Structures are given as C-alpha cells and as structure tokens.
Amino acid sequence: MTERARLVLMLAPTVALLAGLFLGGLALAALRTVGIVPLAGRFDPTAEPWARALGAPDVLASIGVTLWIASAATLVATVLGLAAALLLRRAGGGRLMTLLVQFNLTVPHVVTAVGLLWLLGQSGWIARIGHGAGLIDRPADFPVLVADPAFVAVILAYVAKEVPFVAVVTLAMLAAVGTGPAETARSLGASRWQAFRHVTWPLIRPGVLAAATVVFAFVLGTYEVPAVLGPSHPKALPVLAYQMFTSNDLADRPAAIALSLVAAAIGVACLMAVRRLMSGLPTLKVAR
C-alpha cells in the first residue's frame, strides 16, 4: 500500500463523517431556509423564512442579548481564566489546586445552571444568607439575578464553566513557552511585571485569544443555560430558535433554522479567527 493510499484510508472515515453530518447538516439547513428540501424533492426558492425570522417580534432583541451574553461572559471568563492560570503558577500549582480549578470543565452546563439557579434565585442560598445576616427581609428584597433582563445568572454560569477552560489553555501555553524567555528577560534587567508584559504575554497571547474566541462562539450556541436561567423575554437566540422550531406552526421551522444559521455564521467567523491565531503558534503545531 502506498503512503498516499494509507493516508487517505486513515483520514477518509473522519472526513466522510464530519462532511456528511456537519457540513451536510449545515447545507440542508441553509437550503431549507430558501425553500429547497432535497429529500422531499421540493424546490420552490423563496426568501420568506428569512423575512419571517428577521421580522418576528423580539428577534433583534434576541440577537442583541445573545451578543451581550457572549461578550460579557467571554470577557470576564478570559480575564479570570488568565488570572487563575497565573495565580496557580505563582502559587506553585499544587496538584489538588489544579484539579479543583479544572473541575468545572467536566461539569455539564445544565448542572452549573441549576446550581446557580438555587444559589442566586430570590429565595436562593445567597438570599437566605442575606436574610440571616439581616440584610434583606423578604425574597423580593434580593436583587433579581435569575431570569433578569441583564442575564446576570446566565453570564455567571458561563463564567464558572469557561474560566477553567481559559485557565487550562493558558497553563498549556505557559508550559510551551517555558520559563526561559522570562528568565532571560529578568537577567537582562526586566522586572517581574516587565518580563510578563513584554515577553511572556506576547508569546501566549495568540493562544489565550483563540481560547476566548472559542468561548464566545460556544456561548452563542448553547441552549440549556439560558433555558434554565434566562428570562422569557427577550430570549437568547438558541432558546428562541428551538421554540420556533418546535412550535405548532410548521411554517416557523425554516425561520427557526434561519435564526440558528445566524449563530452559525458568527461561529464560522470565529473559526476563521481561531485558525489565524493558531497559525501563529509554532509550538502547538501538530505537523513536523
């Protein structure tokens, strides 16, 4: 067997499966929104689903809050994740501490969301502690953090989940860069902060930004967190799209797909950004 044939055999199943399921699903979805359903042999091109999707009440508000959630969660998670990685390293990075930081990474989103529901709700655990401390009297005195218009609990759920992700990526980047460059900088007269600012940070920045982009795209498309913790109005994009998809009016279906394609399109843009960032990471390239 030639080298070439072996390579093709090794790659073919993965490529076929992802092309079939992922690209195929995406293509069918896109066709459906313009009135083409290959399986049913239907071909009546129309822009009606898009008009319906974008014209539906709350859609613009929905896209707006979704971008707000994704931006806020990404910003906070990236800053805290970076801080967590640097703190872990500064603290000597004990195994138990590292494991505890990573723990949330393994927790399904829905569990974190439910935990925050019981923690931050108006009769939740923190409100009860507030009552115990004499700060509030009735649940209504506690600030609305769950199902609130600012999506505070939703954002915090993503932060709790994604801080470990950013921290793990940052730790891997720090390990790949090693302590050499910073030590060289120190011996050339840079303070601890200058060595980080001018040498270590520029070297790990692409990886950290790539992680942040992945977090952003992920938040855009996750259903269960806003479903558990978000308000009923306006809804996050995935929740709105799912409800339209399963509504009794079958005409809503193509419109729902159009909405989820909006999220997918932002995701594709994120993918290209991630690939650009990762091409600047010689240490992490898999090819020899």
Selected range binding other proteins among 45-53, 54-62, 143-151, 216-224, rule: CB under 8 A: 216-224
Q: Identify how many contiguous H helices and E strands the chain contains and give both numbers.
A: 14, 2
72 binds other proteins (CB under 8 A): no
Does 227 participate in binding other proteins (rule CB under 8 A)? yes
Regarding 175 and contact with other proteins (CB under 8 A), the answer is: no
* Calpha distance 217→186 (Å, rounded): 37
User: Does the protein bind other proteins through residue 222 (CB under 8 A)?
Assistant: yes
Site membership for other proteins, residue 232 (CB under 8 A): no
Q: Which two tokens stand for residue 43?
A: 């071909």
- Strand runs labelled E in the chain: 36-37, 42-43
User: Residue 145 interacts with other proteins (CB under 8 A)?
Assistant: no
The residue within the footprint of other proteins, chosen from 53, 73, 82, 88 (CB under 8 A), is 88
Contact (Cβ atoms closer than 8 angstroms) between residue 44 and residue 35: yes
Among 65, 69, 163, 212, binds other proteins (CB under 8 A): 163
Within 8 A by CB and 6+ apart from 53, the residues are: 33, 59, 244, 254, 255, 256, 258, 259
Question: Which of residues 111, 144, 176, 209 is near other proteins by CB under 8 A?
Answer: 111
284, 175 Cβ separation under 8 angstroms: no
If binding is defined by CB under 8 A, does position 64 make contact with other proteins?
Answer: no
Q: Which of 2, 14, 232, 248 binds other proteins (CB under 8 A)?
A: 14
Query: Is 67 near other proteins (CB under 8 A)?
Result: no
**Separation CA 258–CA 53 (nearest Å):** 6
Distance CA 113, CA 159 (A): 11
Residue 196 interacts with other proteins (CB under 8 A): yes or no:
no
Which candidate, 213, 128, 125, 199, places its Cα nearest to that of 169? Answer: 213
Smallest separation (angstroms) from other proteins to the CB of 52: 15
* Amino acid letter for position 268: V
Nearer CB in complex with other proteins: 65/116:
116
Question: Structure tokens of 279?
Answer: 């091409």
Q: Which of 61, 110, 176, 209 binds other proteins (CB under 8 A)?
A: 110
The answer to whether residue 29 forms part of the interface with other proteins (CB under 8 A) is yes
Which range in 44-52, 56-64, 144-152, 178-186 contacts other proteins by CB under 8 A? 178-186
Residue 260 interacting with other proteins (CB under 8 A): yes
Q: Which of residues 113-142 bind other proteins (CB under 8 A)?
A: 114-119, 123-125, 127-129, 131-132, 139
221 contacts: CB under 8 Å, gap ≥ 6? 238, 260, 263, 264, 267
